[in-house]
Structure 1
Amino acid sequence: MSSKNEGGRKRKLSPTQQTNQQHKKPQICPMAESTSSNNGSSSSSPITRLPQDHLFSILLLLPTESVLCFAMTCKKLKSLAYSDSLWESICKRDWGQTPVDALKGSNHPLPWKKLYQQVYQLDSVCCHRLLADSPDGDKILPSPRASHSLNLVSGCLVLFGGGCEGGRHLDDTWVACIGNTSRRTLNWQKTNSGIPSGRFGHSCVVIDDSLVLFGGINDTGIRQNDTWVGQVTVHERLGITLSWRLLDIGSIEPPPRGAHAGCCIDNKRMLIHGGIGPSGVRLGDTWILDLSEDLYFGTWREIVARPSPPSRSGHTLTHIGEAQTILFGGRGMGYEVLNDVWILDASEGQWRWAQMVSELRNLPQRFPLPRVGHSANLIMGRQLLIYGGEDSYRNRKDDFWVLDISSLASVRLQPRNVNPNRIYRKMWKRVEPKGDKPNCRSFHGACVDDSGRYLYVYGGMVDGLIQPADSSGLRFDGESFVVELVL
């Protein structure tokens, strides 16, 4: 190959120059380029001549970075790529239908593109103390407690059980309708059912607008393995009622335990892991409860997978959708407090655990320190919000961390012949609290609303004045907070 020099003579190119010339790319993107015909009329690129609904469908198949790149090519694509209807659909795609419907009902002021951006740039939350009241004015309110359950079902907060001063358990159930999130008062109503029996360290999840409760420990140290279903009913005249009934589960059931972790999967199954067994030994087994459509029958089965997380208690399980569940923290067999993260994946029809390995440099700034008795909830944008807990020295925490797990939706574990301990790039970020900052606490109850924007917190163990008879300086808390994502 040759080329002409300035004098018009041919010059032979070196092999490297020939390769560079053959692979040289044009500087103008063909999609953005327009040409003029002989009669002076202009014609756009073929992709811009596609019907708008076809372009809309194409953009929804792309990651958000590619959508923004399309917006830079021409005015037509920019108008579509920045449209509010497209970004509403992107929010539905990445967050699910329920959060988007909840946001639409709240008349959020931001356009969907701006809201999407604000969610993933989240750097602060605003905390508001909720005043407690009772509807009849007699001031009968939930007593301070820890290791209880707090769930949001049918628009109501449901508080059950827990431990209190003196090592005693509680068997009471309290219900409060949250109503408008701008209201700062909870009207608690006690339901006198007498069942389930008193306990703390149990797990309770929401399935199909009902509660499913498993296990726990009573004040004599007895571990339970019974399964209960609770149904909330809101009456115009009678107020809120909640009825519990024992679930028929057949002959197979998990061993008794407390301080385990549980979550709901796909709004139809319950998953539990670990905890403290009858002999006081920490467990590392995983069980799943399949329920009948009417929630009158259930079947427990154990999930056996290797490798699996080490045995622990006081950890959290959070289902993130797409057949994936995140396990974080807890206390291990040697009483050490952990900060490892595991993902349970069932996307290929088989249950498999894999540890998400983190970069350990600059650990205090980039990664939450080990903790037990914390809460972990899936918030808006498919992110995990970690709050509170305590370390190995029982120093309680008041920090908020976000783990961005949105990219894990497309992650699929490798085949069996590949080491499943694959390195994942985790995106931990510390979020600063504003407003009525809660005290440092552990073993509290926490749950989110349908939008994933509001986190409700009740009770837990907090720092207290050291009394002569109580060298630990611990006390049980009875305050409620709502934590709002600042968008």
Structure 2
Amino acid sequence: MAASGTSTDRINGDDASSLITDISHDHLFSILLLLPLESILSFAMTCKKTITLTRSHTLWKSLCARDWGHSTVDTIITASSPSSSSSSLDWNRLYQRLRNLDRVSCFELTDTFGPSPRASHSLNFFSGCLLLFGGGCEGGRHLDDTWIAYVGDSYKRTVTWQRIISGGPSGRFGHSCAVIGSCLVLFGGINDSGMRQNDTWIAQEENNSTFSWRLLEVGPVAPPPRGAHACCSIDNRRMLIHGGIGLSGTRLGDTWVLFLSENLSFGTWHQTVSHPAPSPRSGHTLTCIGESRTVLFGGRGMGYEVLDDVWYFDSSEEHLGWVAVLFEPMDIAAALARVGHSASLISGGRVLIYGGEDSYRHRKDDFWLLDIQHGRRVWRRLKCEGYQPRSRSFHRACADESGCYLYVFGGMVDGILQPAEPSGLRFDGQLFVVELLI
């Protein structure tokens, strides 16, 4: 009993200290970095010592790297004042601004010579470069050109495009192209005769910093020919495609996964069937947000209706299939429905959705943030500062490695209506940058 009383005195006595606060700061930091934000904030309210501890810039810098990515942290440091150091930045405030992101800024990029105006092309950020292929242009023609522009990490307001002269996929639009590890993989599309394709191509960087295409051997099984489908990589060896417009002009609702071999010499396609699953559609988007999840949004359905539903594909070994993402009833649902938009992964595993068109073919110029990470269900419209780009659809966009800069090229825009023209619709050849304002 005496021993028990002594132990109690040690815990409750005036000179007693909390067992938690006796742990070294380094060990506490390691523990806190394993906890969700809400638990860290609750821990901070325990006592004065924990409040002081959780105000540490070192802790919040580590939390920024954990939740928003190391490349995002590097970008913030690079973009800060030259006289500022990493330790002088208010990482707590920066974390909150990243979490509550509510605005972007746009600016044009100057290019003296580059790709012609087009839509339904592909645009990827790969090895510090923008790589563009194909698309449809004036007169209903397809394009078969490949362009590359080095961007790097300097974020200059000028780019220099270079056309790659090499054998590659035949001309097409409505194809898909995704970065998978150290290569680009392109699938399908539609040529100007209306023929749907189901060939698979791969591009890799060569020693002289150029890219070359080759037809990928995939064996006897491949998805049916299609265009206007959606695709994205789901890890360094797999690519996911869904939907599109098939040979008969009907919209498809099937899901396929491409598995690349270790040496990238061949691939194998496998169809994945799960219930429930997204309805057939085209002009939608797929965006991998990490943690074995890929988000599907929008598109045009079989009845030509424009959709606003959200799904995610779980590519983990335990569960390979689709899960519907349910939101509380929202007044903004009508504003969200769209087809021909872009949906890009930005910092923190969130999705930035831009443009597209509604069921009346009215093109949009709005930016929306979709966040379904860590149990959240957030739609937030972002304000746009600086340059105001034209409303557009069937453009293409890609984010750089930091997830803080988005590059947008081309699309269909509303032009000036000329006499004897049925509409003012035209193809656009503009390249601009969308910067997250943090």
Larger Rg: 1
- Are 2:40 and 1:64 equivalent residues in the alignment? no
What is the aligned counterpart of 1:405 among 372, 376, 386?
372
Which residue of structure 1 aligns with residue 320 of structure 2?
351
CA-CA distance at 1:172 after TM superposition: 0.3
- Are 2:293 and 1:324 equivalent residues in the alignment? yes
Which residue of structure 2 aligns with residue 130 of structure 1?
109
- Are 2:364 and 1:383 equivalent residues in the alignment? no
Two-structure CA RMSD over aligned residues (Å): 2.0
Distance in 2 separating the partners of 1:85 and 1:243: 44
Gaps of 5+ in 2: 1-9
After superposition, what is the alpha-carbon deviation per residue over 1:96-123, rounded to whole angstroms, capped at 9, x for unaligned?
Answer: 4444455555558643322211111111
CA-CA distance at 1:472 after TM superposition: 2.7
CA-CA distance at 1:184 after TM superposition: 0.4
Which residue of structure 2 aligns with residue 419 of structure 1?
none
Answer whether contact 1:171 1:194 (CA < 8 A) is retained: no
After superposition, what is the alpha-carbon deviation per residue over 1:24-64, rounded to whole angstroms, capped at 9, x for unaligned?
Answer: xxxxxxxxx99655xxxx23211111222321222122211
Distance in 2 separating the partners of 1:170 and 1:196: 10
Which residue of structure 2 aligns with residue 120 of structure 1?
99
Gaps of 5+ in 1: 1-32, 134-138, 409-424
Distance in 2 separating the partners of 1:399 and 1:180: 26
What is the aligned counterpart of 2:21 among 48, 63, 69?
48
Distance in 1 separating the partners of 2:411 and 2:280: 24
CA-CA distance at 1:288 after TM superposition: 0.4
- Are 2:250 and 1:274 equivalent residues in the alignment? no
Distance in 1 separating the partners of 2:309 and 2:374: 19
Which residue of structure 1 aligns with residue 117 of structure 2?
144
After superposition, what is the alpha-carbon deviation per residue over 1:237-285, rounded to whole angstroms, capped at 9, x for unaligned?
Answer: xxx4221011111111111100000001123211000000111110000
Answer whether contact 1:379 1:385 (CA < 8 A) is retained: yes
- Are 2:90 and 1:111 equivalent residues in the alignment? yes
Which residue of structure 2 aligns with residue 27 of structure 1?
none
Distance in 2 separating the partners of 1:433 and 1:181: 22
Which residue of structure 2 aligns with residue 464 of structure 1?
415
CA-CA distance at 1:442 after TM superposition: 0.3
CA-CA distance at 1:291 after TM superposition: 0.6
After superposition, what is the alpha-carbon deviation per residue over 1:449-479, rounded to whole angstroms, capped at 9, x for unaligned?
Answer: 1110000000000001223453132100001
Distance in 2 separating the partners of 1:387 and 1:230: 27
Distance in 2 separating the partners of 1:184 and 1:160: 22
SS of 2:109's equivalent in the other structure is strand
Which residue of structure 2 aligns with residue 296 of structure 1?
265
After superposition, what is the alpha-carbon deviation per residue over 1:109-160, rounded to whole angstroms, capped at 9, x for unaligned?
Answer: 6433222111111111000011113xxxxx4x21000000000101000010
Q: Which amino acid aligns with 1:475?
A: R
After superposition, what is the alpha-carbon deviation per residue over 1:168-199, rounded to whole angstroms, capped at 9, x for unaligned?
Answer: 00000000011344410110000111411100
Distance in 1 separating the partners of 2:283 and 2:347: 24
Answer whether contact 1:368 1:401 (CA < 8 A) is retained: no
SS of 2:20's equivalent in the other structure is helix
Answer whether contact 1:103 1:451 (CA < 8 A) is retained: no
CA-CA distance at 1:297 after TM superposition: 1.1
Taking the TM superposition and a 5 Å limit, the aligned residue runs for 1:24-423 are: 36-37=13-14, 42-104=15-77, 110-133=89-112, 139=113, 141-233=114-206, 235=208, 240-347=209-316, 349-363=318-332, 368-408=335-375
After superposition, what is the alpha-carbon deviation per residue over 1:68-105, rounded to whole angstroms, capped at 9, x for unaligned?
Answer: 22223334323332222322332333234444455555
Q: Which amino acid aligns with 1:387?
A: Y
Answer whether contact 2:128 2:153 (CA < 8 A) is retained: no
Q: Which amino acid aligns with 2:408?
A: V
Distance in 2 separating the partners of 1:316 and 1:93: 26
Answer whether contact 2:167 2:213 (CA < 8 A) is retained: no
Q: CA 1:297–1:361 in 2, change beyond 3 Å: closer, same or farther?
A: closer
How many residues align? The count is 423
CA-CA distance at 1:361 after TM superposition: 3.8
Answer whether contact 1:326 1:344 (CA < 8 A) is retained: yes
Distance in 2 separating the partners of 1:214 and 1:184: 32
Answer whether contact 2:260 2:267 (CA < 8 A) is retained: yes
Moved more, 95-104 or 76-85: 95-104
Answer whether contact 1:102 1:450 (CA < 8 A) is retained: no
Which residue of structure 1 aligns with residue 427 of structure 2?
476
Distance in 2 separating the partners of 1:265 and 1:454: 21
SS of 1:255's equivalent in the other structure is coil
SS of 1:48's equivalent in the other structure is coil
Answer whether contact 2:123 2:398 (CA < 8 A) is retained: yes
SS of 2:309's equivalent in the other structure is strand
Answer whether contact 2:234 2:315 (CA < 8 A) is retained: no
Distance in 2 separating the partners of 1:164 and 1:468: 21
Q: CA 1:294–1:382 in 2, change beyond 3 Å: closer, same or farther?
A: same
Answer whether contact 2:229 2:241 (CA < 8 A) is retained: yes
Moved more, 157-166 or 111-120: 111-120
